Structure 1
Amino acid sequence: MANKAYASNPAWYNGGDDKNGESKKANSTFFDTDVDFRIAEYMHFCSRMLVKEPKKGRNKAPAMVVFCAFEQLQMVIDYGKRYGFQHYIPLTFIKKSSAQALKANMKIVGGCEYGLVLYRDKLPKFNNDGQMIMNWFHWDIDNSYPKIHPTQKPVPVLKRLIEIFSDPGDTVIDPVAGSGSTLRAAAELNRSAYGFEIKKDMFRLANEKMLNHAEMSLLAL
């Protein structure tokens, strides 16, 4: 994404209109970490944080969920295998609208988010309540939660994933916590939650706006 983060978004221009000239967001990234994200270190950290698989029993193994661009799926799969995540399940999240408004009269625009469920050897814990769960989900948004991060994931989506792959009392860890929405979702589902964030301003906003009524930990590195 790099400096093209807003390339198909009206925010590229002042007032969302190209007649007004480019805004400060033109040719910019969401964050400097978009350019210098070290996926090998990320995978190593996650592999250390994820609990070991139980030797016996079904539906007890842990899982890791990664959101990424469609073009990044294979890279995440390959790096995951280097650090012990030998298997994966692809996920697609369907939106009601597209952020690529500037491209709408030029081509088919993107209306999906993508992700992967990574796991080691055993199938991860799976709570389906007797219902078939497909590998696609609606991108449900709840505007009652504060909007802090430009790529913030909706709390309802995160809650659904947490419900499926963990039990009440389990621990949820977000290595790139951002707005803290994962931690908020976990807390509302009676899971323990820990998040890590290197951006001090994001750490402050998440604590002040997203996590101020929840008991959890967000660590600034």
Structure 2
Amino acid sequence: MKCELYNDHFENAKSYQIPSAQLIIADIPYNLGRKAYASNPAWYKDGDNANGESELAGKKFFDTDGDFKINNFFDFCTRYLKKEPTKSGACGKSSGAPAMIVFCAFEQMQMVIDEGHKHGLKHAYPLIFIKPSSAQALKANMKILGGCEYAIVLYRDKLPKFNNNGKMIVNWFNWLTDGVEIPKIHPTQKPVRMLKRLIEIFTDYGDVVIDPCAGSGSTLRAAAELGRNAYGFEIKKNFYRKSKAKMIANIQPDIFTVMYEAQQQERRQAFINGQTSLLMG
């Protein structure tokens, strides 16, 4: 399996000759500006306002947030997303169409849907991730605190590839946190465990996953450990270096997960072949 992270902007992807993706996952900038830590105890030393402000007070998460261009992002994604299959899936089954998952702030959801529609991603639906607690502790006496993360699934015409193993999957998930074996590299890092769950649903063993805003590289690690080919871009050198050294160094696919996935894929293909034979016969 390939697992490649490039210290470059996704707009320069052409020079790396990466393949088209079955799934693109991205955590785009939330554009919080200098209020990134405004409702988080980290604004103060040791999380206590009696100690005065910390070095994070009035700081942005990233100095590149203002440079993010949503139109350019979707240009890249729709260029590197696999083409639609020519045939629909078997009766009662989704097709093998590709999909995008974009993590964003609640206020950005409609913008992401609208921009996707401009780029031919005509359909979208939300995903909601329920956290066990809220980081907005400083607003506890002012408002109901946000305890969720949000994402949008986008696709063109045909329903994306969908692996549910016969079980219903709803559009809300419990926020699955990582253990100490996963390094903390990025302030908005998404858990590997949770990313694996999404990758399992929308891809098969051997498929390609691309993360244009790779950050910590947790998406690449999740994909590679599941036996998917993973490619990512990260322009910040410090995140790139830490990811290469700690997150994606010496990744080995989880052999038991890969074997199970391969078996399930064979069964699905056998079912599709059987249905096709019945239709032709």
**SS of aligned partner of 1:124:** coil
The residue number in structure 2 matching 1:61 is: 97
Indicate the structure whose relative CO is greater, using CA pairs within 8 Å and at least 6 residues apart.
2
1:32 to 52, 63, 78: 63
The residue number in structure 2 matching 1:176 is: 213
- Deviation of 1:35 after TM superposition, in Å, equals 2.3
The residue number in structure 2 matching 1:206 is: 243
How many residues are paired up?
216
Q: Higher helix proportion, which one?
A: 2
Equivalent positions of 1:14-93 (< 5 A) are: 14-58=45-89, 59-93=95-129
Runs of 4+ in 1 over 2 A off after TM superposition: none
The residue number in structure 2 matching 1:219 is: none
**SS of aligned partner of 1:179:** coil
CA deviations over 1:164-220 (Å, ceiling 9, x no partner): 00000100000000000000000111000000111111110100110012279xxxx
- Deviation of 1:89 after TM superposition, in Å, equals 1.4
1:150 to 162, 182, 187: 187
**SS of aligned partner of 1:89:** strand
**SS of aligned partner of 1:130:** coil
Work out the CA distance in 2 between the residues paired with 1:116 and 1:215. 29
1:133 to 161, 169, 173: 169
Work out the CA distance in 2 between the residues paired with 1:56 and 1:148. 42
Equivalent residue letter for 1:194: Y
The residue number in structure 1 matching 2:199 is: 162
CA deviations over 1:36-80 (Å, ceiling 9, x no partner): 211111111111110101101422000000000100000000111
**SS of aligned partner of 1:44:** helix
TM-score, reference length from structure 2 = 0.75
Gaps of 5+ in 1: 217-221
Residue identity over aligned pairs, in percent, reads 67
Deviates more, 1:57-66 or 1:174-183: 57-66
The residue number in structure 1 matching 2:29 is: none
Work out the CA distance in 1 between the residues paired with 2:250 and 2:38. 36
- Deviation of 1:22 after TM superposition, in Å, equals 1.3
**SS of aligned partner of 1:151:** coil
Work out the CA distance in 2 between the residues paired with 1:25 and 1:206. 22
Q: Please say if residues 88 and 158 of structure 2, whose CA atoms lie closer than 8 Å, have aligned partners that are also in contact.
A: no
Root mean square deviation of aligned Cα: 1.2
**SS of aligned partner of 1:35:** helix
Please tell me whether Structure 1 or Structure 2 has the larger radius of gyration of its CA atoms. Answer: 2
Deviates more, 1:57-66 or 1:108-117: 57-66
Equivalent residue letter for 1:207: K
CA deviations over 1:128-176 (Å, ceiling 9, x no partner): 1000100100101012211100000011110010000000010000000
Equivalent residue letter for 1:121: D
- Deviation of 1:20 after TM superposition, in Å, equals 1.5
The residue number in structure 2 matching 1:191 is: 228
Equivalent residue letter for 1:123: L
Work out the CA distance in 2 between the residues paired with 1:36 and 1:10. 27
Equivalent residue letter for 1:33: T
